[in-house]
Structure 1
Amino acid sequence: MQEEANAGQTPNSLTYGMDWDKLRIFHAVADAGSLTHAGDTLHLSQSAVSRQIRALEESLNTTLFHRHARGLILTEQGELLFDATRSMSKRLDTAAARIRDSEDEVFGELRVTTTTGFGSLWLAPRLWKLYEEYPDLNIDLMLEERVLDLPMREADVAIRMKEPSQADLVRKKIMSVRMRLYADADYLEKHGSPEKLEDLVDHRLICQNVNSVQVSAGSTLVQEILSYEPPSTLRVNNYYGVLKATQAGLGIGVLPDYVISDFPKLIRVMPDVESNEVPVFLAYPEELRHSKRIAVFRDFVVSEIMEHRKRLKEEQE
């Protein structure tokens, strides 16, 4: 009978006319998987949270959670309701962001996603300049290789090593990079500098694992270099690890060219060996086109890239 009572009800129809406070509490419990953790987030006691969930279940005449010793698991009906509250939460976040962006001041949270390598090696060390101009910004920097869903507001703005394929995005190509071979100056003084790929039989190669998530150009270059069978390798799943090992003198590293101006002790070896060009895009949802926080972040990144190119040109002359 319970299934019949819920048959034909969509998440939207389920939430219609409901107590918003109970839905907010349900969403927090479903997200946390625990009454206690949800209570901490909401600043409510566990018993108060439990009463609200029980009242919501009674109003819907259904069970929303399976209880077990390790926490709570959503039932099928609970999953339906959680999908609805998650969508509502994202829309509310979007509305709040647009309201805040209608003000003249630049403040509030800005969620930025990019790769571990670019975020840790290039972006994070430069953010002090942005904070200096806009001290009330709160940047949430999410470094991972997974492509987050911008239209679903998993992040506000992304910097990715390929053109985003998601719809309803504003995108701008901001730079291009290539993967090249580098080694620490002290390492080269001790072990000598290889002149061709065949010389790698006398060196250790430090690179990203070809099976880890990365741009195809980088993986292709590494596979080509590995075909020359260097006797020893160190494989890391991100460029930050490759950089630190290369700086420590463990061998010759395959690294993106944007690191070179910030780490002058790294010397490029075999200048004729490099990957194909990798385009770098900055993207954000169409609905945030007029966001002041997005605008100042975009302009900051573009300005820093121009300064970066200028420094490289001066160093090469």
Structure 2
Amino acid sequence: MHSLAERGVPLEERPKTNISGLSDWDAARIFLEVVRCGSFRSAAERLSLSINAVRRRIDDFERQTGTTLFTRDVHGTHLTDEGALVVSAVERMEAATFDVLRASDSMANALSGEVRVAVTEGLGTFWLAPRLVEFQQAYPKILVDLHCAMRSADVSRHEADVAIHLSRPSALDIKLVRLGRMHLMFWASEKYIAKHGAPRSAAELIKHRLVLQFADQLAAKESFESFFPGVSERDLLVMKTNVSSANYWAVANGAGIGVFPSYAIALGGKLIPLEVELNRPLDIWLSYHPGSGRIPRVRHMIDWLIEAFNPARFPWFKEEFVHPHEFKDSYMGEPLTQLFGGFSTEEQR
């Protein structure tokens, strides 16, 4: 059926039905329900709306489409020819909506795709990389792009999906989570101590050989000068590197005394913590862009990283300093050697 004003007018000459500017999917859904139920009353009952509310939404929908969708008489509600065209279009919209929802569910369930994680080189090499096996076993379809570098990635510029820093990022339009605290100490190998002895104070330390990491030249220089005021680098340093892994293994092989986090006792190089107070805690921060945080695979990575630095589980990330010799008393998880890449810290038998 069609409206009285259009009877006898060829369909191609009638005003065109316009749904290109349709913005109210809710009204379209109500229109479809009226068509399927055959009456305003039945549709209202099915939608838990009043009849007047349904009629108002249909009137709104007719204004949006620019055409009469129904005619009403004593026998009920009848769809016009133009209304039939709109039904077809709205059903396609409905099907497309279901496709989007199914795709969304599929993506959420599959959790596939790539997640870019930027982290400082030491934490990435010694702490995250060995433990990411857990994440990949739980989410085998997610590709983790782990970028280890001393320069912090800027998630506000989408340089990474998630980033871990050793200083609080200054960007305003990002989400921040304080993960824990890293406590730095002086360390030396058994070989070095056997040959040169173990210093017990800063005054004794300046008589020894140091191997230090200078990834950020300015920050490293300031730290050196604050701990050794008036002392030249040339008087103390026998080696400096730009990456923590090279720094660590140089110290582990007896090149000199180095500075590492308190968890260095578990890294496999048989290092011994020195009783020289350093008092250099570093807060560990996680940052991500708000938009990235709504992507399921990124959200799962964020949650996993927060747990990976949980101070309640891992005492070396606690607010207060826990001496490495106390780890066995305060840490109740799996063996430390399994957390840090599987290196054995015990004598081979």
- The residue that corresponds to 1:163 in the other structure is 168
Pick closer, same or farther for the CA change 1:144–1:310 going to 2, 3 Å. Answer: closer
- Give a deviation string over 1:235-255, Cα, whole Å, max 9, x none: 112322211111111110012
Of 112, 118, 123, which aligns to 1:113? Answer: 118
Note if 1:260 corresponds to 2:265. Answer: yes
- Quote the Cα distance in structure 2 between the aligned partners of 1:215 and 1:294: 33
- Quote the Cα distance in structure 2 between the aligned partners of 1:118 and 1:132: 21
Letter of the 1:115 partner, please give it. T
Aligned-residue RMSD, C-alpha: 2.8
Secondary structure in 2 aligned to 1:164? coil
Of 296, 299, 302, which aligns to 1:298? Answer: 302
- Give a deviation string over 1:132-180, Cα, whole Å, max 9, x none: 1111111111122223231232211100111121232111000111322
State which structure, 1 or 2, has the greater radius of gyration over its C-alpha atoms. 2
Q: Offset at 1:316? A: 5.3
Q: Report the TM-score when normalising by structure 2.
A: 0.55
- The residue that corresponds to 2:285 in the other structure is 281
Moved more, 235-244 or 297-306: 297-306
- The residue that corresponds to 2:314 in the other structure is 308
- Give a deviation string over 1:65-85, Cα, whole Å, max 9, x none: xxxxxxxxxxxxxxxxxxxxx
- Quote the Cα distance in structure 2 between the aligned partners of 1:271 and 1:316: 22
Q: Offset at 1:194? A: 0.6
- Quote the Cα distance in structure 2 between the aligned partners of 1:101 and 1:288: 18
Contact 2:163 2:286 in 1 (8 A): yes
Q: Offset at 1:263? A: 3.8
Contact 1:169 1:286 in 2 (8 A): yes
- Quote the Cα distance in structure 2 between the aligned partners of 1:101 and 1:233: 57
- Give a deviation string over 1:218-242, Cα, whole Å, max 9, x none: 6544223444555443111232221
Gaps of 5+ in 1: 1-97
- Quote the Cα distance in structure 2 between the aligned partners of 1:182 and 1:147: 26
Contact 2:201 2:276 in 1 (8 A): no
- The residue that corresponds to 2:8 in the other structure is none
Letter of the 1:131 partner, please give it. Q
- The residue that corresponds to 1:32 in the other structure is none
Of 217, 222, 237, which aligns to 2:224? Answer: 222
Secondary structure in 2 aligned to 1:286? coil
Letter of the 1:181 partner, please give it. F
Gaps of 5+ in 2: 1-102, 318-323, 331-349
- Quote the Cα distance in structure 1 between the aligned partners of 2:248 and 2:142: 30
Contact 1:101 1:292 in 2 (8 A): no
Pick closer, same or farther for the CA change 1:144–1:150 going to 2, 3 Å. Answer: same
- Quote the Cα distance in structure 1 between the aligned partners of 2:200 and 2:172: 46
Q: Offset at 1:299? A: 2.4
Contact 1:122 1:259 in 2 (8 A): no
- Quote the Cα distance in structure 2 between the aligned partners of 1:99 and 1:222: 52
Contact 2:176 2:286 in 1 (8 A): yes
- Percent identical pairs in the alignment equals 26
Contact 2:202 2:276 in 1 (8 A): no
- Quote the Cα distance in structure 1 between the aligned partners of 2:106 and 2:210: 48
Note if 1:251 corresponds to 2:256. Answer: yes
Contact 2:189 2:269 in 1 (8 A): no
Contact 1:110 1:139 in 2 (8 A): yes
Letter of the 2:287 partner, please give it. A
Note if 1:131 corresponds to 2:136. Answer: yes
- The residue that corresponds to 2:199 in the other structure is 194
Letter of the 1:213 partner, please give it. D
- Give a deviation string over 1:23-51, Cα, whole Å, max 9, x none: xxxxxxxxxxxxxxxxxxxxxxxxxxxxx
Letter of the 1:283 partner, please give it. S
